[in-house]
Amino acid sequence: MCTLTLALSACSGNDSGPGEQDEKPGSAKTPDDFTAVDSGSLSYAAPQGWEEDREVVEGWTRYIGPHSSEPDVAAAEISDYQGAELEQLTAEEAANYIGEEFPADEQVSVEDSSTTSLPGAEEVYRIDYEHEFRLPEFDRYHISDFGIKSEDGTVLAVRIGAVTEMVEDGTFQELEKTVRVTPE
């Protein structure tokens, strides 16, 4: 599978819907056709068939998914970063850290930024970006970067990204709803 040319490679809902389940206390709600991912202090779920990117920068866990019409092109991702350099940052600084250290594109525009909430988190800051996609099959790529401070003071970062079509079909929102801070 070809991966997105993102700098990561090589270099909120609480309600369960039908078919959704908790894998363990505090873990991600796992919708039908999704697979639970437990990543240290975080859990989330990725659609079945998504692959773990093993060439990701140290400290990151990243799952990438194809678009239904372009199965050889990674068109979406969910990833998290847990590194010592985040520990002294606020949630807002951690969200900005992702964009500064691991930019998605030079032509990124910030669409929105604000505090929000996630289960198990004391503080969450979210930044939404949009940019022109470099591959001709798609026109726009949407990214949400989350800086998270857990109730025990651990600082984490999460990135969710997808092409417009996967925002419109609900994949992006389903990914967002699965993110949880989990006790270690």
47-100 pLDDT, tens digit each: 999 999 988 888 889 999 998 888 888 889 999 998 888 999 999 999 998 877
Q: Tell me the Ramachandran region of residue 26: left when phi exceeds 0, alpha when psi lies from -120 to 50, beta otherwise.
A: left
> Looking at 14-23, 59-68, 168-177, which range is the least confident one?
14-23
CA dihedral sign of residues 124, 129, 134, 138: positive
Whole-number pLDDT of residue 103: 56
pLDDT category at 13 given cuts 50, 70, 90 is very low
**Residues 44 and 179 sit within 8 Å (Cβ to Cβ):** yes
| Phi, psi dihedral angles at 24 (to 5 degrees) | -155, 165
Percent of the chain surpassing pLDDT 70: 79
Q: What is the pLDDT of residue 175?
A: 94
